[in-house]
């Protein structure tokens, strides 16, 4: 295995075009890192949470990774172990950090907690399966036993690049699939702003997949020195794009939140609940044919949000009714069912409630709770 491509040491006989390419990719990575950090510190008001720390970790990891390889390739740091230490730190933060950035916002579009949890398990397993073995190979290939570790390290390098690209394919694919599911209802129920952001989310994740494919091409072409420096530039561009579109997505889910003031959807749900008007609490006693009738309560609200999110997360026992003109709520006293209960009709419109026993306003939007199993 030849050492002149930087696999087992410094670049020995590089050409000017190769050196300029390495410098250009490194400069792109550093520029994007500086720009991203400025935007992060100006955007976030509450600087905590997985999203914030993973963004910082991924961005700083890119800078450290690019710097360490630049020092290694041109033999500026003569001690190879120093370079390997910084390369390893930067690589862990850059690759796994970026996956954690995507994971930390995945719950905004994927409401299945089990799927989101499996993504986290996949990221953790990748650390043990691909980060740790590659680290051993990296130190071995840059030690006095470089001849022994050169070939295994070259193979492991291709394996880990492929594995981490597949991992990002899966996460990006989940974003694309979930976003398409959200957009399915059509333009009548989707505001222009919402559709625009969701389409941007799809485009960015498709672009991320295409960029990972180009990285794989440079790896399998055995252009090690180009692949390494191109990786740092590529990850910086991906992180910058993802940060922009994920912030737009967050602004839709949390309309009143600017700069990361809400650290969780539950906190946001509680703050919005203050503006909601409770219409009624309904009870589902189960279908008559069920062997076991499960009783569940449903609370119906008229939301006070000025710009409600079409894909806000809600608990399973939280049913919201958005008023257009009037909402008709029919209630029946179950305790008087055997005596012949009387149905009472409440018409709620424009903040006022009127009662008409057995009559429904012709201008109302009737809500058929019975058909929904409530």
Query: Residue 190 is part of a domain; what is its CATH number?
Result: 1.20.1070
> Residue 326 pLDDT > 60, yes or no?
no
The number of helices, as runs of H, and strands, as runs of E, in the chain is 9, 7
Spell 268-295 as b/e; 16+ CB within 10 A means b: beeebeeebeebbebebeeeeeeeeeee
- Residue 172's Cβ-count burial label (10 Å; 0-12, 13-18, 19+) is buried
Q: Pick the more confident residue, 102 or 247.
A: 102
Bigger pLDDT: 9 or 165? Answer: 165
Q: In whole angstroms, what is the distance from residue 182 CA to residue 117 CA? A: 20
Whether 173 and 145 map to the same domain: the answer is yes
Residue position matching structure tokens 């072409």? 221
User: pLDDT-based confidence at 346, cuts 50/70/90?
Assistant: low
The residue assigned the tokens 């022994």 is 148
pLDDT at 46 > cutoff 50: yes
- Cβ-based neighbours of 288, under 8 Å, separated by 6 or more: none
Same domain, 239 and 282: no
Task: Supply the pLDDT for residue 61.
Answer: 95
Domain boundary at 253, 276, 301, which? 253
Residue 4 resides in a domain: no
User: In this structure, are 88 and 217 located in the same domain?
Assistant: yes
> Are 160 and 136 spatial neighbours (Cβ–Cβ below 8 Å)?
no
Of residues 347 and 124, more confidently modeled: 124
- The region of weakest confidence among 4-18, 93-107, 262-276 is 262-276
Strand duo 277-284 + 296-302: pairing: antiparallel
More confidently predicted of 293 and 237? 237
List, in order, residues 6 or more apart from 217 with CB less than 8 Å away. none
Q: Which of 119, 70, 60, 125 is nearest to 91 (CA)?
A: 60
At 268 the pLDDT is 40
Do residues 172 and 243 share a domain? yes
How many domains is the chain partitioned into structurally? 2
Give CA separation, 139 vs 9, 136, 148, 149, 153, in Å.
11, 5, 12, 9, 10
273 shares its domain with 322: yes
* Range of the structural domain that residue 219 is part of: 16-253
């Amino acid at each position: 295995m030849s050492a002149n491509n930087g696999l087992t040491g410094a670049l020995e006989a590089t050409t000017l075009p190769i050196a300029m390419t390495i410098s250009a990719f490194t400069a792109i990575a550093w520029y994007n890192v500086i720009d991203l950090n400025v935007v992060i510190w100006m955007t976030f008001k509450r600087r905590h949470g997985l999203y914030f720390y993973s963004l910082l970790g991924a961005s700083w990891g890119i800078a450290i990774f690019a710097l360490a390889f630049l020092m290694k390739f041109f033999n500026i740091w003569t001690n190879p172990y120093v370079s390997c230490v910084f390369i390893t730190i930067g690589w862990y933060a850059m690759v796994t950090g970026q996956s954690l950035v995507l994971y930390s916002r995945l719950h905004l579009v994927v409401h299945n907690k089990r799927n989101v949890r499996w993504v986290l398990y996949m990221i953790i397993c990748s650390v043990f399966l691909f980060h740790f073995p590659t680290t051993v190979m990296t130190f071995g290939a840059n030690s006095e036993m470089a001849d022994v570790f050169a070939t295994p390290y070259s193979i492991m390098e291709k394996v880990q690049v492929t594995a981490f690209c597949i991992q990002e394919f899966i996460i990006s694919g989940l974003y694309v699939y979930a976003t398409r599911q959200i957009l399915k209802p059509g333009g009548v129920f989707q505001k222009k702003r919402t559709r625009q952001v969701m389409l941007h989310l799809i485009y960015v994740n498709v672009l991320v997949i295409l960029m990972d494919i180009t990285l794989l091409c440079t790896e399998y072409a055995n252009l090690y020195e180009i692949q390494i420096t191109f990786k740092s530039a590529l990850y910086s561009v991906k992180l910058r794009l993802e940060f922009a579109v994920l912030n737009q997505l967050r602004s839709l889910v949390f309309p009143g939140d600017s700069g990361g003031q809400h650290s969780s959807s539950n906190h946001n749900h509680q703050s919005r609940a203050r503006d909601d008007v409770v219409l009624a609490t309904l009870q589902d006693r189960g279908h008559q044919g069920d062997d076991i009738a499960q009783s569940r309560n449903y609370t119906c609200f008229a939301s006070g949000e000025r710009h409600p999110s079409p894909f806000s997360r809600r608990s399973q026992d939280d049913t919201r009714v958005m008023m257009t003109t009037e909402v008709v709520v029919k209630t029946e006293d179950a305790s008087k069912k055997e005596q012949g209960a009387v149905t009472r009709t409440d018409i709620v419109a424009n903040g006022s409630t009127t009662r008409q026993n057995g009559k429904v306003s012709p201008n109302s939007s009737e809500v058929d709770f019975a058909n929904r199993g409530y």
